[in-house]
Structure 1
Amino acid sequence: MREPLTSAKPGASILVLVSGEAGTGKTRFIEWLVTLPELCRVPRLNVAFTGSGAVVRQEPAPPAGTAPAAGGVRFERPPGRPQAGALAPPRSNPLGAPALRELADSLDTGAPTLLVVEDVHLADEQDAYPLRKLLARPLAGLRAVLTYRPEELATPGLVLGAPVGYPAGLGIVQLRLGPLGEAEVRQMATKALGEDRCSARFVARLHNRSGGIAQVVADLLAELKKAGPLPGPEATPAGLDRLTARDVDEAPVPVRRAELVLGRMAALGEEPRRVVRAAAVLNEAASEDELISVAALPTGSGRVALTAALSHAVLHEVSVGQYGFRLPMEATAVYQLMPGPVRGEMHRRAAEALTVRHPEPWARLARHQLASGQIEDWLRSVENAALRAVEARNHQLAITLLEDTLAHAQVRQSNRSRLALLLARNAYNGLRSDQTVEVLRRLVDDEALPVAARGEIRLELGLLLGNQIGRDSEGRAELIKAVEELSTRPALAARAMAALALPYWPAGSLADNLAWLARAEATAAGSGDEVIQAAVTANRLTVLLSMGDPDGWQLLEELPRDDEDPLILHHSARGVSNAGDAAIWLGEYAQARELLAEAPKLGTLVGDLYLQQMASAKSLIQDLMSGHWAGLAVRARAVLAEAGEMPLIAGHAGLVLGLLAVAKGDWSQVAGWLSGSALTGDEGAVPLVAAAAGGRIRLALARQDLGAAAREAAEAWGRLQAKSVWVWAAELAPWAVEATIRAEELGTARAMVDEFAAGIADRQAPAADAALMWCRALLAEADGELTGAAEYFWRTCTRYQTLPRPYEAALAAEASGRCALASSPETAAGISELSAAANELEALGATWDVARVRAQLRAHPGSERRRRGRRGYGDRLSPREQEVAQLVGAGLSNREIAITLFLSPRTVEQHVARACKKLGVLSRHDLATVSHNGDTSG
C-alpha cells in the first residue's frame, strides 16, 4: 500500500480500498499510514463515519522547514470552508456534497493531498453521494483511502452504495485485511502473557476460538491475564502459571464481539432469529436443512430466514452449503441468552437431525442428547464415540469424552464401571489428567467390583501415577496390589510385573527389578498372549540397556516395528523410546538421535501423545550433552510449557535449563530449574535426579559452599547405592568426587571411585567410562601427582571428544592445562590446552566457564595475554571489565565474580564502577541489563 501512495507522480490520483471485517485492524492500518514520513507532511482530510453521522477533521500541511507533530494535529472543522487554524467541535450531521467539495477545494493545490475516509459502510446516501462525485472527478494529486466492512455494506459489493464511474486515470488498489495466522497469534500471546505460559495447544485453541481476528485476540488475552500471575522479569521454572486450552474455552466472550453479533441479531425478524439460535445450539457448520429443522420452520420460510441471517452477517457460509457463525464464541454469546426450555427443545431436534448423518457423529450427538435429557441415549453415544476414537488411535479424545461423562452424577454404577474400564485402558496413552486419577481411585476402592476388574483398573492407575503424574511410590504400590488382584488373569499380571521391573524409578533396588522381570517373563510365556509378550520384551530391553548390557541392543532389533496390531506396535514404540533414553545416559549419542527420531513417528501411529512429548523432552538432553546449544534454551522452555503438570517431561526441560544456567553463570535461575519434583528426592527418575544433583553440587562448589556440596554429594551417592545402576553415575560422579575431596574426605572419595569402577565393569557405557577417568584424574590431583593428573585429564578430554561431549571435553582440557601448569609453569602445552578450552567454551556460549579459564590464562606468567602488559582502553571496556560486566549480567554477586576470576571483591567492585562509567549507566542493575543484551563494547 505504501508504494502506490508515496511513489505516484504528484498530479496522479490514487484510490486505496481497505476492507476487513470488524476487528481485523483497519484503524491500526490508518494509524500506521498517516505517520509514514512521505505522507505526514501532506495536507490531510479525515472523514470518520459513525452510527450518528460523519466526523470531519482537516490537517493542513506543516509550515516549511518544520516537522509535523507526532501523529499529526487534527483540527475539528465545522461545515463550510474552513479558516486556517480555526478550531470547532466535530460535526455529526450529513457530510453533504457542498461541504465535502469546499473542504477538498481548500486543499486543492495540485500537490498531493490525503483523504482518509473510515468506516464507509456506515455512510448513508447523503454522505455516500458526495464521495461518489468526488471520486468520479478526483482532484489532481488526490490520495484517497477508504476503509469498510464488506459484510455491512448497504448494497453488497458496492462500497459507496452505487456505482461510482471511476475515471480511467484513477489508480485503484485493494487491500483485504484478513485474520491473523497462528504464528502471529502466538506473538501476541507471548508478548501479553509471557512465553512460558503459552503452550502450543493453548495458542492453537486461542487462534481457533478468536478466528485470528486481531481485536478478539487482544480482548481474550486481556481476560486471560486474570487467569494467573503475570510474568515477572524472571521465568517461573515450575511453570505453575501455564495456561491451557481449557482456560481459553472458559474465558468470557469479549464484550465487543458479543455486542457485535447480538446487535446484528437484534435487527432480524423472529424467524431469522430462530435460525440463528439453531446455529448456536448446533455450534458447528450445518446444512440449510439441518438449521431449518432445528429451528422448526417450514422449508420456504426457513430459507428466507437463513438468507436474512446471512445478509445481516450474523451467520456466514463457512464452506459450500454449510452455514454457521464466523467465530465459535459468537455461538456462545447467543446460546447464553437462550431460555432453558428453548435450548432443550432445540437440542432434541438437533439430535434427531444428526442421526441421519453417516457416519454417525457420536460425540456431537451425545452433547445434544445430554442437553435434552436423553440420558441412556447420551451414554450409548459417548461409548460409541470413545470406541471410534480408540479405533482411530485418538486416545486423548477418548479420555476427554469419558472423563467428562464420568463427572456427571446421572451415570448409574453399572454404566460407570464399564465406561471407567474403557477410560483406564486408554489413560496410559494420553497426557496427565488428575480427573482420570480420581475416577480410577474411586473404582479400585469399590468392593462391589469383581476383583479382576479392580486389578485391571489398578494396573492402569499405577502406570498413570508413575509416568504422567510423577508419583512413583504410589504407582508402584498400586502395581504390586494389581499383581495380587490379577492372579486369575496372568497376561495382565505379567504387564504389572514388567512395569515393576523398570529400574528408572527409585523405589526398590536393581535386584528387586530383576526379580520382577524374571516373574514377568515366566508369566508372559505361559499366557500365550502376544501383546503381553511384546510388553515384557520392551521392558526387558529397557532394563538391559539401562544397565549397560549390550544384549539389549539385540532385543531392540527384534522389536516388531511394523506389526498390524496397534497394541503390539504400542509396546514396540515404548521400547524404541526407552532405548533412545538409555542410549543418552550411556553416551551412545548417534544411536540415541536415531531412536528419538523414530519413537515419535511410532507414537503417532498408535496415537500415544505422551510418548511423542517424551521424545521431544529426551531430545533436549541429547542436544545438551552433544553440544547443540544454539536455541536449546528456547526449545526447553517450549517443552516445559507443553508439559503442563507432567513432572517427568518438565524434569527433562528443567534439567537442561538448569545445567545451561550453571555454564552461562545465570546462577539465580539454577535452584529453580533443578528443584522440580522430577529432579529431587525419592520420586524423580534416577538418572535425572543424579544429573540434577551433579548440577547442584557444581554450583555449590563454584560458590565455595563446600559443606553444601559435600552434603548433596553424599545424599546423591546414597541414592545411587540403593539403586545400584552405576552407569547412571556418569553425570554425578566427577562433581560428587570433587566435592568429597574438597571436603577433605579423600578416603571416602577413593571408596566412591572404586565403587563406581566396580559398578560399570563389563558394561557398555562410554559416558560412564569417561566420567570414571575424570574421577581418577581428580584423585591424582588430590594426591599431588600433577603430571599424572594432567595425563588423566587429557585422556578424559579425548574420550569426551570421541562421544562427542564438547562441553565436558573443554572442562577436562581446562583441568589438564591447570595441572600441567601447576607441575611445570613454563609448559607451553598447558597454556595451549587452556586456550583451546576457552575457545570451545566461548563457541558453546558458556559465559561463566570462559571467564574462569581466561582468568587462569591471564594469571599465568607464560600467557601471551599476560606478556602484552597493560594498555589503555580509553572509553572502551578492557577485557577484564567486559568479563565482569558479563558476569554481572548473568546475575553473579561481586563475591561470586571474585571467586570465578581469582580477584578480590574490592577489585571486582572497582571494575563494576569503571564499567558503569564507560557505558553511561547509573547502577549495577542497569549494567546487568546492558550486559544481558550483549552491548558491552563501550
Structure 2
Amino acid sequence: MVGRARADAGQHQALPPPRFVGRARELAALDDALGSAPAVVLLDGEAGIGKTRLLREALRLQAKKGRRALVGACPELRVPYTLGAVVDAVRDGADNVAALRLSGLGGALRPLFPEWADDLPPAPEPLHDATAARHRLFRAFVELLGRLDVAVLAIEDVHWADEATLEFLLFLVSRRPQAGSVVLTYRRDEVPPDSLLLRLTSRPPADAHLVRLTLQPLDVGETASLVSSMLTGHHVSHEFAAFLHARTEGVPLAVEESVRLMHDRADLVRQDGGWARRRLERIDVPPTIRDAVLHRVGRVGPDTRTVLYAAAVLSGPADDATLRAVTGLPDDGFAAPAAEALGGGLLRELKPRQWSFRHSLASHAVYEAIPAEERRAMHLRAGHALEQWPQPPVAQLARHFRLAGDVEAACRYTEEAADLCLQSGDVVTAALLMHSLVATMAVPVESLVRLVTEIQFQALPGSDPFSEIIESLRSALDAQALTPEQQASVRFQIGRLLMAAGRMEAGRAEILTAEPHLRPDSPEAARARILLALPLGDARPVTEHLQWLREAPPTAKPMTSLDRLQVSVERAFALLMLGEETGWEEARHIPDVVPDPRDASIVTIGHANVGEAAMRWGRYDEARTRLARARTLAERHQLLDYLDSVASSLAHLDWFVGAWSGLAERAARLGVADAVRLKDRCEAALVEGLILGATGKREAALERLAFAGRDDQQRIEATSASARLHLRDGDVAEALRLTDDVAETVVGSGIWTRASDFTPVRVAALAAAGRFDDAVRLTGTFERALGDKEAPAPQASLMLCRAVLAEADGRLAEAAGLFAQVADAWQALPRPYDAMLARERHVRCLLADGGEESVLLPRLSDVRRALSALGARADSARLARFINERGSGTRRARGRGRPSYGNQLSPRELEVARLLLEGRTNRQIADVLVVSTQTVASQVRSAMRKLQVPSRTGVALKVVELGLLDEQGPALPGDEGNHPRRA
C-alpha cells in the first residue's frame, strides 16, 4: 500500500488550490453589503481562517457587476512608510495618472508617488502644521480614489497598520457622503490596546452602513469538502476528515498546508475509490501552520528553497527580475526552481511575472528560518536590486540595507525616507524609521548624534522609547575610538535621554561628565548647563542651580533657529522651577504656532512644562491655557507621548481646582495603561491616591501614592499626601518618618517651588510631635525662600504654616483668623478642597477658644455640605460625626463672650492633661474629646507654655504636683458645667 501511495504521489506533484468551501452565508452577506449603499465592512478572524479568500471571492463578484476595487495589505515585516497599504493599492490600480486630471490638491501626492512626478500637478506650498499637511494628503487621496471610480477599497491585516493609515481610514469612513465602500480585515486578538483601529471597530460613524463578519473554523463536513477539492474531487473518508479536523481545529490554511505536506510525504493513500490516511500511529501532522510550512520547505531542493527565502526577504509582491537578483542564482538556474516554488502552492502569481507568498504567515515562517548569514546577503542583494528601479523605494531600501548591515546606505536612505514622511505630515513614521536604525545598527558617531537629536521621541508609541537608544549610545562610547569632544557629545545625549526617561540623577551625572568637554559656544553646552540647572532629583542649594544658568557663556556663534528655540524653552522652564519670576518673561516668547514640524515637539514640551510650573506657582488659569496649547499641538503633530503627559497634568490641575466629576476614573485609566510612560502614570496615580484619600479609601490611597512616589517629580507631593493621611489618623510618628526622608531635599535647598504642598504637612507633624521650635524654623526657611513672589499657592501654604503654629502654641484666636485668611486665599485660586479644610480649622479654633456652639456648629454644617458636594465623603462624614456628638451634650448656659483663663489652664486643657496622665496619645485624646488631633496638639502646647515644662510628660507630672486635678477628674464632653475647676 505504501508503494502505491508513492506512485500516486508521483502522479500528483502539484496539488491545486482548495475550492471555496463553507463560506456561502458570509459571501452572500459581504456581496449584499458591497452591492448596496457605501458600507464599512469589518472582517475579523484568526490567522489562516480564510479572510483573504472570502474577500477575493466577493471582489470577483463585484467585478462582474462593473464595480472597481483596490486592495492593499499591511505587512507584518513592517517597512514604515506613510500610508503604505493605501499607496500600494492605488499604485496597482492607476495606469494613466495624467488622464485623471487631478486638481492642484494632487500635488500633495508627490512625496508618496515620485514615479508620477511628470503627471501630477506641482507640489503645493508646504504646510508647517503636520495635521493640516496630513489632512491635505488625505483629501488628495480621496480625490484620486474618486477619479479612479473606486467602488471598494479593501485593506487587509489592518491590525498591523501604521497610525497614518488608520487615521486615513477614519477620515475616509467619516466623510459624508461616503465615496465608496471600505473593507478591513484584521485579527481582533492582535490589535494593540492603543490602536486607532479600536475607534473604528467600537465607535464607527453613527450613520455608517456597518457590517461585521467574524469567520469561524470549518466543521468536519466542510473540512472533508475542502480536502476533496484539493485531491481531484475524490471522496475523503470521514475518519480521515475527522482526524485532520481535530489536528487543525478546522482552520482552512492549516488544513491546506497539512494536506500538502501529507501529500508530499506520501502519507495519503487511495482506498476504495477515495482518499484516506495511513494508520494513525504512523502519521504526523504538525501542530501549527508555521511548522507545516517549514516541513514543506525542508523537503524541496536547495535552489527552490533559495527562491522561497528570497521571496520572504522581499516580504511583498516581487517581479521575477528582482526575485532572481535576490536569490543570487544564475540566470539559467532560476526558472526551474521558481516554477517548483510556484507549483508547490507556497507562492502565487498575482499578475504576470509578479509573485508573492499566498499568506503572510507562510512568508514570516520562512523568513525566520533563513540562516543569519544568508539572510544578510539576500537583504544586501535586495537593496542593490531596488536601487536600480527608476524610482527607488527609499523606505524599503532603508530596511534592506539596515538588515544587511550596510551602515552608510542605511543611514542615507533612512534620512531620505524620514524626510518624505515629514513632507506628508507623518511625524510618527519618521520617528520610527530613525529609531529602528539607531536601535539596531552601530552608526558612526557623527550620524548617531545627528539622528538621535532629530528623533521626536514624543511621537513614538510605547512606554519606553529611550532605553534602546541609550544602549546604542553607550555601545558607541565603548566600541568607537572617539575624541574627547565626541565622547562628550555622546554622553550629553545619554544624559538628556535619561532625564527625559525620569532618571534624573543618572542623567545629571552623565551631563556633568560631558559638560567640560563640550565646545563652549555650542548649543549642546548651553543645553547641558540648563539641564544641570533644573531642580529635579536630589537636593542641591538653589544657588548651585542658578549658577549653571548665570555662568552659561553667550552663544555668539550663529545658532540654528531650532537650537535657539530649544535653549529658550528649556531656560524658561528652569527659571520657573527655580522660583525665578524672570522665567515668566522668557515663557511669553514660546510661540503658539510653529513654522517647522520639528519645532512642534519643542514648543509642545515648552507649553506643557510651563503649565506644570504654573500649577506649582498656583497660577491655575495660566496652567490650563498652557496645557490646552500643548494638547492642541500634540494632536496636530502626532506627539503621542505628550497627549498622555497633558492628560495626566490636566487631571492634576482638576484635582486642585475641584473639578472632581469623573476624575478618579480618568486617573485610574491613565495610571494602569502599559503604553503610558512611567512619569505620566505616576502623576495619574498621585491624583487617584488623592481622590481615594478624600473619599475614605485609606489603604487604596496609600498604595497608589506609594506608586506615584516612584517618579521624582511626583515623589514629594505623594509623600505629603501620605503623611497627611497618617496625621489625620493620629499617627504622628509615621507622618514624621515619611517627611523626614525628603525634608532636606524639599526645604533645605531653598527651592520653594517643591515645598508648597510639603511644608504645611511637615510643620503640622513637627508641631503634633511637640517639636515646636523645629516647626518654627522650618516655616522661617520656607518664608525666606519664597519671599514676596507672586505665587498664590505657595503664599497660601506659608500662611497655613503660620496658622498651624499659632494653633499649636495655644493662640487660638490668632490661629482662627489666620485659617480664615488661608481659606480665602485658597478659594481665590480656586482650590476649594483646601479652602474647606481651612474653613473647618477656623471654626474648630473658635470652638476650642470658647466660641458659641450655637453660632459655630451651623458654620461647620455648611463646610460639611460643601465637602460632600465636592466629593470629599471621608471629610464630610468626619465632620458630621463631630457636629452630632458636639451638639448632643447638655451644656451649662453662660454669658456672652469667651472666658479668659490667662496663664491658668482652661477646663479643656485640664481634660487633656488628665488623659495624658493616663498615657493616651493625641489621637486617642482627640477621639475621647471629639476634636481634631491638631486641636489636641495645640492644647498640649498651650499647657506646656503655661506650666513652663518642656514635654507632654512634664504637663502630666506638673498638674499632679500642683493638685490641679480633683478626685473626680475633669468632666468629659457633655458635663463640663457639673463640676467646678481649680486653676
Q: What interval of TM-score do these two structures reach, taking the shorter chain for normalisation? A: 0.5 to 0.7
Instruction: Report the equivalent of 1:914.
Output: none
| Cα offsets for 1:635-665 (capped at 9, x unmatched) | 3333334575854333312322222232223
Aligned CA distance change for structure 1 residues 393 and 416 (closer, same or farther; 3 Å) = farther
Shift of 1:488: 5.3
Shift of 1:450: 2.1
Aligned CA distance change for structure 1 residues 641 and 373 (closer, same or farther; 3 Å) = same
Shift of 1:700: 1.9
Shift of 1:580: 0.6
Taking the aligned partners of 1:156 and 1:441, their CA distance within structure 2 comes to 53
Aligned CA distance change for structure 1 residues 477 and 120 (closer, same or farther; 3 Å) = closer
Matches within 5 A, 1:373-392: 377-378=409-410, 380-382=412-414, 384-385=416-417
Structure-2-length-normalised TM-score? 0.56
Confirm whether residue 493 of structure 1 aligns to residue 525 of structure 2.
Answer: yes
Aligned CA distance change for structure 1 residues 213 and 699 (closer, same or farther; 3 Å) = farther
Q: Paired residue for 1:456, among 467, 489, 493?
A: 489
Q: Paired residue for 1:519, among 534, 537, 551?
A: 551
Taking the aligned partners of 1:741 and 1:123, their CA distance within structure 2 comes to 78
Confirm whether residue 545 of structure 1 aligns to residue 576 of structure 2.
Answer: yes
Taking the aligned partners of 1:327 and 1:150, their CA distance within structure 2 comes to 11
Return 5+ residue gaps in structure 1 as ranges.
Answer: 1-118, 125-147, 161-175, 184-190, 218-252, 865-894, 905-938
Confirm whether residue 778 of structure 1 aligns to residue 804 of structure 2.
Answer: yes
RMSD: 5.6
Aligned CA distance change for structure 1 residues 306 and 429 (closer, same or farther; 3 Å) = same
Q: Paired residue for 2:474, among 428, 436, 441?
A: 441
> Which secondary structure state, in structure 1, belongs to the residue aligned with residue 515 of structure 2?
helix
Conserved 8 A contact 1:693-1:713:
yes
Instruction: Report the equivalent of 2:735.
Output: 709
Taking the aligned partners of 1:302 and 1:446, their CA distance within structure 2 comes to 43
Q: Paired residue for 1:259, among 254, 262, 282?
A: 254
Q: Paired residue for 1:473, among 485, 488, 505?
A: 505
Conserved 8 A contact 1:395-1:429:
no
Instruction: Report the equivalent of 1:365.
Output: 397
The residue identity in structure 2 corresponding to 1:669 is A
Conserved 8 A contact 2:731-2:923:
no
Return 5+ residue gaps in structure 2 as ranges.
Answer: 1-18, 25-48, 62-153, 167-187, 203-210, 218-247, 265-295, 459-463, 891-920, 931-983
Q: Paired residue for 1:757, among 770, 776, 783?
A: 783
Instruction: Report the equivalent of 2:650.
Output: 619
Confirm whether residue 800 of structure 1 aligns to residue 826 of structure 2.
Answer: yes
Instruction: Report the equivalent of 1:837.
Output: 863
| Cα offsets for 1:485-510 (capped at 9, x unmatched) | 11355332112112212224435321
Shift of 1:610: 4.6
| Cα offsets for 1:252-290 (capped at 9, x unmatched) | x99958726746987999999999987754445789998
Conserved 8 A contact 1:547-1:725:
yes
Conserved 8 A contact 2:604-2:634:
yes
> Which secondary structure state, in structure 1, belongs to the residue aligned with residue 575 of structure 2?
helix
Aligned CA distance change for structure 1 residues 781 and 768 (closer, same or farther; 3 Å) = same
Shift of 1:212: 10
Shift of 1:402: 5.2
Aligned CA distance change for structure 1 residues 435 and 422 (closer, same or farther; 3 Å) = same
Confirm whether residue 200 of structure 1 aligns to residue 174 of structure 2.
Answer: no
Taking the aligned partners of 2:584 and 2:819, their CA distance within structure 1 comes to 31
Instruction: Report the equivalent of 1:726.
Output: 752
Higher relative contact order (CA 8 A, sep 6+): 2
Matches within 5 A, 1:376-775: 377-378=409-410, 380-382=412-414, 384-385=416-417, 401=433, 404-405=436-437, 411=442, 415-426=443-454, 429-430=457-458, 432-445=465-478, 448-468=481-501, 470-487=502-519, 489-520=521-552, 522-525=553-556, 530-564=561-595, 570-603=601-634, 609-642=640-673, 646-676=677-707, 679=709, 684-685=712-713, 688-775=714-801
Aligned CA distance change for structure 1 residues 456 and 711 (closer, same or farther; 3 Å) = same
Q: How many residue pairs are counted as aligned between the two chains?
A: 656
Instruction: Report the equivalent of 2:138.
Output: none
The residue identity in structure 2 corresponding to 1:536 is V
Aligned CA distance change for structure 1 residues 439 and 720 (closer, same or farther; 3 Å) = same
Moved more, 566-575 or 836-845: 566-575
Taking the aligned partners of 2:533 and 2:419, their CA distance within structure 1 comes to 31
Aligned CA distance change for structure 1 residues 693 and 489 (closer, same or farther; 3 Å) = same
Shift of 1:443: 2.8
The residue identity in structure 2 corresponding to 1:487 is R
Taking the aligned partners of 2:157 and 2:559, their CA distance within structure 1 comes to 57
Aligned CA distance change for structure 1 residues 798 and 373 (closer, same or farther; 3 Å) = closer
Shift of 1:511: 0.7
Conserved 8 A contact 1:816-1:833:
no
| Cα offsets for 1:597-656 (capped at 9, x unmatched) | 112444566665554443233222112212222332333333334575854333312322
Instruction: Report the equivalent of 1:821.
Output: 847
Shift of 1:701: 1.4
Instruction: Report the equivalent of 1:240.
Output: none
Conserved 8 A contact 2:347-2:355:
no
Aligned CA distance change for structure 1 residues 749 and 378 (closer, same or farther; 3 Å) = closer
Aligned CA distance change for structure 1 residues 640 and 900 (closer, same or farther; 3 Å) = farther
Conserved 8 A contact 1:838-1:854:
yes
Shift of 1:392: 7.0
| Cα offsets for 1:772-799 (capped at 9, x unmatched) | 2222222222233334333322322222
Aligned CA distance change for structure 1 residues 530 and 375 (closer, same or farther; 3 Å) = closer
Aligned CA distance change for structure 1 residues 641 and 450 (closer, same or farther; 3 Å) = farther
Shift of 1:850: 2.5
Conserved 8 A contact 1:354-1:361:
yes
Shift of 1:747: 1.8
Aligned CA distance change for structure 1 residues 660 and 834 (closer, same or farther; 3 Å) = same
Aligned CA distance change for structure 1 residues 314 and 694 (closer, same or farther; 3 Å) = farther
Matches within 5 A, 1:101-180: 121-122=21-22
Moved more, 641-650 or 782-791: 641-650
The residue identity in structure 1 corresponding to 2:466 is S
Q: Paired residue for 2:879, among 830, 853, 871?
A: 853
Aligned CA distance change for structure 1 residues 393 and 797 (closer, same or farther; 3 Å) = same
Conserved 8 A contact 2:504-2:536:
no
> Which secondary structure state, in structure 2, belongs to the residue aligned with residue 629 of structure 1?
coil
Taking the aligned partners of 2:832 and 2:610, their CA distance within structure 1 comes to 23
Moved more, 607-616 or 537-546: 607-616
- What is the percentage of aligned positions where both structures have the same residue? 27
Conserved 8 A contact 1:491-1:523:
no
Aligned CA distance change for structure 1 residues 285 and 611 (closer, same or farther; 3 Å) = farther
Conserved 8 A contact 2:747-2:755:
no
| Cα offsets for 1:154-179 (capped at 9, x unmatched) | 9957999xxxxxxxxxxxxxxx9x99
> Which secondary structure state, in structure 1, belongs to the residue aligned with residue 818 of structure 2?
helix
The residue identity in structure 2 corresponding to 1:442 is S
Shift of 1:201: 5.8
Conserved 8 A contact 1:429-1:609:
no
Conserved 8 A contact 2:445-2:486:
no
Taking the aligned partners of 1:692 and 1:256, their CA distance within structure 2 comes to 52
Taking the aligned partners of 1:671 and 1:517, their CA distance within structure 2 comes to 38
Shift of 1:364: 2.5
| Cα offsets for 1:776-834 (capped at 9, x unmatched) | 22222223333433332232222222211122122222222333333346434532333
The residue identity in structure 2 corresponding to 1:679 is G
Moved more, 364-373 or 782-791: 364-373
> Which secondary structure state, in structure 2, belongs to the residue aligned with residue 860 of structure 1?
helix
Aligned CA distance change for structure 1 residues 740 and 286 (closer, same or farther; 3 Å) = farther
